[in-house]
């Protein structure tokens, strides 16, 4: 974030954050989960973490100020201090509950989610319902004060680690498809739930299939109105897009690529000196810089209460296009060494194997790039609706 935008108050704030980190954080604390949790609590008290959440729910309830946010990000990164708990509980579920949850749901789920005490998995996609999510057929019926859920979800990331699922299920079979869906919270460890992990090309098995057979959850664990789950799910997807579309890691990723280009060789010389590669890198850097600048403008607009339409879609595409080009260049630089990335000789480059194999995933998760393009074309540019997707 440009230094020029900072006021005297922001400079003082940076000193304050730095002083806090100097007294409260030492990198060796990272190995001790209790110490990390205690540090986070102190950082919340100071107003540095969970700034958008009320104090009563475990947040620090601060006014929107993108510059302060960026200062916190920079100073915490420099001190290698932990910020908010990562994962979709904090980035997707908690903000959705803040907007749509009942008071009881907020009290029950938001504080332990922010504290990292409960983890979540997203039960949206089904074998026949991905891009056309509203066609989902997992059903839930209200029986004696409980939802009874039957169906089959797929691509459920980290389901095997989750304490809770947020699930879209059809509760109003007679209603038009978008109006027949409800958003339910379901305890993950109970009989009737079977989880099968799916091995990926990267060797990991984060994805799962989840089978629900007469699974029960209390009637009041519905978020939003009955049949209004589609609207609630849009909020969660908006936060998912924002998470993927954030420019926060773009510079770091590009810098890592530059370091790789310094280490690798083309025709016996450092790859970074190769004119064709330099051309590709400069083009990519243009996208990285404009993505970062655009994110800063959006943060400032957000602070003024403005929310320009379709930015989430644009950010997500830009972000995943950058990740894709980084992966392509890394693949060209590493050649077949990428296959041996786990070998001791090339271990420092092992991360690139995961980067390359995983780069496509983000362009698919949370709505594919093609779907984002459709939305931009139809809602942004006013082009005719995609007939196939419109039913
Ligand atoms: C890394 C990752 C994590 C994920 N995590 C989860 C999770 O935790 N929970 C969950 O529920 N799901 C998750 N998913 C699933 C994800 O939401 C779906 O993969 C995604 O919505 C696409 O659905 P699909 O795979 O069925 O592909 P399809 O919908 O079958 O699409 C196949 C291809 O057709 C294109 N296409 C489809 N319809 C149109 C159209 N109308 N116009 C133009 N092109 C179209 C798509 O762009 C795509 O290229 C995850 C996926 C990935 C990759």
Q: What is the pLDDT of residues 56-93, one digit of tens each?
A: 999 999 988 878 888 998 899 899 999 999 999 999 99
Determine the distance separating the centroid of ligand 1 and the alpha carbon of 180, expressed in angstroms: 21
Our answer on whether the CB atom of 370 is closer than 6 Å to any ligand 1 atom is yes
What pairs with residue 196 in β-bridges? 209
Per-residue confidence (pLDDT) for residue 306, from 0 to 100: 82
Per-residue confidence (pLDDT) for residue 40, from 0 to 100: 97
Determine the distance separating the centroid of ligand 1 and the alpha carbon of 272, expressed in angstroms: 36
> Can you tell me whether residue 225 is helix, strand or coil?
coil
CA-157 nearest atom, ligand 1: 8
Instruction: Locate 256 and state its tokens.
Output: 């890592």
**Are 163 and 319 a contacting pair, CB within 8 Å?**
no
Determine the distance separating the centroid of ligand 1 and the alpha carbon of 209, expressed in angstroms: 15
Per-residue confidence (pLDDT) for residue 6, from 0 to 100: 64
Mutate to test the pocket of ligand 1, among 130, 153, 204, 362 (most ligand atoms within 8 A of CB): 130
CA-127 nearest atom, ligand 1: 26
Determine the distance separating the centroid of ligand 1 and the alpha carbon of 329, expressed in angstroms: 25
Give per-residue pLDDT as tens, 180-206: 999 999 999 999 999 999 998 888 899
Determine the distance separating the centroid of ligand 1 and the alpha carbon of 370, expressed in angstroms: 10
Give per-residue pLDDT as tens, 9-62: 989 999 999 999 999 999 999 999 999 999 999 999 999 999 999 999 999 999
Our answer on whether the CB atom of 320 is closer than 6 Å to any ligand 1 atom is no
Our answer on whether the CB atom of 372 is closer than 6 Å to any ligand 1 atom is no
Between residues 151 and 302, the one the model is more confident about? 151
Our answer on whether the CB atom of 166 is closer than 6 Å to any ligand 1 atom is no
For the ranges 63-77, 300-314, 363-377, which has the lowest average pLDDT? 300-314
Q: What is the C-alpha to C-alpha distance for residues 53 and 41, in angstroms, rounded to an integer?
A: 14
Mutate to test the pocket of ligand 1, among 119, 120, 125 (most ligand atoms within 8 A of CB): 125
Q: What is the C-alpha to C-alpha distance for residues 94 and 100, in angstroms, rounded to an integer?
A: 10
Determine the distance separating the centroid of ligand 1 and the alpha carbon of 155, expressed in angstroms: 9
Give per-residue pLDDT as tens, 310-358: 888 889 999 999 999 999 999 999 998 888 766 555 566 678 888 888 8
Buried b (16+ CB within 10 A) or exposed e, 18-55: eebbeeebeeebeeeeeebeebbeebbeebbbbbebee
**Are 117 and 126 a contacting pair, CB within 8 Å?**
no
Mean pLDDT of 93-108: 97
Between residues 302 and 189, the one the model is more confident about? 189
Our answer on whether the CB atom of 365 is closer than 6 Å to any ligand 1 atom is yes
Please give the positions annotated as active site: 240
Per-residue confidence (pLDDT) for residue 391, from 0 to 100: 45
CA-153 nearest atom, ligand 1: 11
CA-386 nearest atom, ligand 1: 41
> Is residue 97 predicted with pLDDT exceeding 80?
yes
Give per-residue pLDDT as tens, 246-284: 887 888 899 999 999 999 999 999 999 999 999 999 999
What Cα–Cα distance (Å) separates residue 354 from each residue in 10, 20, 202, 303?
38, 35, 6, 36
Our answer on whether the CB atom of 358 is closer than 6 Å to any ligand 1 atom is no
**Are 62 and 17 a contacting pair, CB within 8 Å?**
no
CA-159 nearest atom, ligand 1: 8
User: How many CB atoms lie under 10 A from the CB of residue 176?
Assistant: 10
CA 240 to chain centroid: 5
Per-residue confidence (pLDDT) for residue 387, from 0 to 100: 72
pLDDT band at 7 (very low <50, low <70, confident <90, very high): confident
Q: What is the C-alpha to C-alpha distance for residues 233 and 348, in angstroms, rounded to an integer?
A: 40
Per-residue confidence (pLDDT) for residue 62, from 0 to 100: 94
For the ranges 97-106, 302-311, 353-362, 379-388, which has the lowest average pLDDT? 302-311
């Amino acid at each position: 974030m440009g230094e020029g935008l900072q006021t005297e108050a922001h400079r003082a704030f940076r000193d304050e954050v730095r002083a806090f980190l100097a007294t409260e954080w030492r990198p060796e604390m990272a190995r001790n989960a209790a110490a990390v949790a205690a540090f986070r609590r102190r950082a919340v008290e100071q107003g540095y973490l969970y700034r958008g959440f009320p104090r009563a729910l475990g947040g620090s309830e601060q006014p929107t100020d993108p510059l302060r946010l960026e200062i916190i990000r920079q100073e915490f990164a420099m001190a290698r201090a932990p910020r908010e708990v990562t994962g979709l509980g904090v980035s997707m579920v908690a903000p959705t509950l803040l907007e749509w949850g009942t008071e009881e749901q907020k009290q029950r789920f938001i504080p332990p989610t922010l504290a990292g005490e409960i983890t979540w998995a997203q039960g949206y996609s089904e074998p026949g319902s991905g891009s056309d999510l509203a066609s989902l057929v997992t059903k839930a019926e209200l029986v004696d004060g409980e939802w009874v859920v039957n169906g089959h979800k797929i691509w459920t990331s980290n389901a095997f680690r989750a304490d809770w699922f947020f699930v879209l299920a059809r509760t109003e079979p007679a209603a038009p498809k978008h109006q027949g869906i409800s958003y339910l919270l379901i305890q993950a460890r109970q009989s009737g739930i079977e989880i099968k992990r799916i091995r990926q090309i990267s060797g990991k098995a984060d994805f799962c299939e989840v089978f629900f057979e007469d699974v029960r959850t209390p009637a009041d664990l519905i978020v939003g109105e009955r049949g209004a789950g589609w609207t609630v799910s849009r909020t969660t997807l908006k936060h998912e897009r924002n998470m993927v579309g954030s420019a926060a890691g773009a510079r770091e990723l590009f810098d890592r690529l530059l370091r790789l280009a310094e280490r690798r060789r083309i025709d016996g010389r450092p790859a970074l000196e190769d004119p064709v590669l330099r051309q590709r890198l400069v083009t990519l850097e243009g996208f990285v810089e404009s993505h970062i600048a655009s994110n800063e403008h959006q943060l400032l607009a957000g602070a003024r209460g403005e929310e320009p339409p379709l930015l989430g879609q644009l950010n997500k595409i830009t972000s995943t296009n950058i990740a894709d080009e980084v992966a392509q260049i890394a693949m060209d630089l590493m050649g077949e060494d990428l296959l041996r990335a786990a070998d001791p000789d090339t271990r420092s480059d092992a991360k690139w194997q995961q980067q390359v194999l995983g780069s496509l995933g983000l362009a698919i998760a949370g709505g594919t790039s093609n779907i984002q393009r459709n939305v931009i074309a139809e809602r942004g540019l006013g082009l005719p609706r995609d007939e196939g997707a419109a039913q």
